Structure 1
Amino acid sequence: MQMQGSRLLSITQQQAWEALNDPEVLKVCVPGCESIEPTADNTYAVVSQIKVGPVSAKFKSTIQLTDIQAPDSYTLNFEGNGGAAGFGKGTAKVRLSPQGDGTQLDYEVEATVGGKIAQVGQRLIDGVAKSMSESFFKRFDEEMQRRHPPAADAPAAASGTAAESAGKKIPGWAWGAIVVILIVLIAWASQG
């Protein structure tokens, strides 16, 4: 299956790139994300808990980032396995571009899915995928407002932001964890 989408973010392109490379942002924003660990250069292991109707599983995913063009784009290759619940694999191309005072996030995905969770009703999967996507973007927007407050509030609120992030940055793959979780669910919906 193939799909594409976009989302307007209310932060600059550089802020978006940095936020999507910060494991603390992912922990706060990605529903069900339990861990993200590097395994090799630009390769990571991600563990997430996903529930769709009666099917609940812990997915172990491998993500490899290629074609990195910071802070503009990269290609994500992913494989996720939830045991008997199902699997997903594919690629996602992610692009960030300035859009007025904010940033446009565009993605194109090619994915293959299968297993028990692929047999759950499409309406239920559509609802879960939409809910997870909206939950991520709501949390992401809230976290960005906290980290990048309006100019009048900036001096008081920004004092710990750089220190909080120092030493916690990881290479430009982080959007991949989000894409794997959301895209696999959306891909299941499309396969229904």
Structure 2
Amino acid sequence: MDMQGQRVLKVTQAQAWSALNDPEVLKSCIAGCDKFELIDNHVYSVGVAIKIGPVSAKFSGKVSLSDIQPPNSYALHFDAQGGVAGFGKGESQVSLLPHPEGCELRYTVHSSVGGKLAQLGQRLIDGAAKSLAEDFFKKFEEALLAQSLGAGNSAAPSPDPEDQGKPSMAVWVWPVLLLAAGLAWWAWA
């Protein structure tokens, strides 16, 4: 499965970079995530429970960062197992670019999966993946805004009321952000 997308974040590039590298922020933004821990230099152990259609599973795996160029970009490599529900592996490229409203997050994801979830049908999987990604980005933006306001940055831009209810991604997935890639892969696994 190949996906790409972009999203304007109404925070500085440095703030977005910091959040993309904070395991607690990512864990709190990923639905069903109960583990996102640094286990080695740029390597994270991840646990996520998902339900797609009739299939529920707990996936455990690793996410590794490489080609790290702060505060601009990194690559993610992920590999996870969900028992009889399946497996997934892949890679994602994540980049942050300056934007008049804050910064723009761009990502691509390439993944492969197997097992029961892969047998559910592409339409169901795609719908679930889009929903997971949208939930992630909504929570991620809320976390960024809360951090920005908590840091006393009252100059942080507030969300545009006209943007509420509009789809926020051109094409699906998650970048990874760290797990956006992981989510796509877990949802597809």
TM-score scaled by structure 2?
Answer: 0.80
Larger helix proportion of the pair: 1
The percent identity for this pair of structures is 49
Question: In structure 2, how many angstroms separate the alpha carbons of the residues matched to 1:38 and 1:91?
Answer: 18
- Alignment of 1:27 with 2:27, yes or no, is yes
Contact 1:44 1:62 in 2 (8 A): yes
CA spacing shift, 1:150–1:83, aligned 2, 3 Å: closer
Q: May I ask how many residue pairs the two structures share in their alignment?
A: 169
CA-to-partner distance for each residue in 1:25-71, whole Å, 9 max, x for gaps?
12321111101122222112101111101101110011111110011
SS at match of 1:38: strand
The counterpart of 2:179, out of the listed 165, 177, 180, is 177
Match of 2:100 in 1: 100
Question: In structure 2, how many angstroms separate the alpha carbons of the residues matched to 1:29 and 1:98?
Answer: 23
SS at match of 1:31: coil
Give the CA RMSD over aligned residues: 2.3
Structure 1: give runs of 5+ residues left out of the alignment.
Answer: 156-173
Match of 1:84 in 2: 84
Q: Which has the larger radius of gyration?
A: 1
SS at match of 2:149: coil
TM-score scaled by structure 1?
Answer: 0.79
SS at match of 1:78: strand
Match of 1:123 in 2: 123
Contact 2:59 2:186 in 1 (8 A): no
SS at match of 2:84: helix
CA-to-partner distance for each residue in 1:90-120, whole Å, 9 max, x for gaps?
1111111111121111112221111110011
Give the drift of 1:123.
Answer: 2.5
Question: In structure 1, how many angstroms separate the alpha carbons of the residues matched to 2:79 and 2:97?
Answer: 27
Question: In structure 2, how many angstroms separate the alpha carbons of the residues matched to 1:83 and 1:184?
Answer: 12
Contact 1:111 1:184 in 2 (8 A): no
SS at match of 2:71: coil
Match of 2:109 in 1: 109
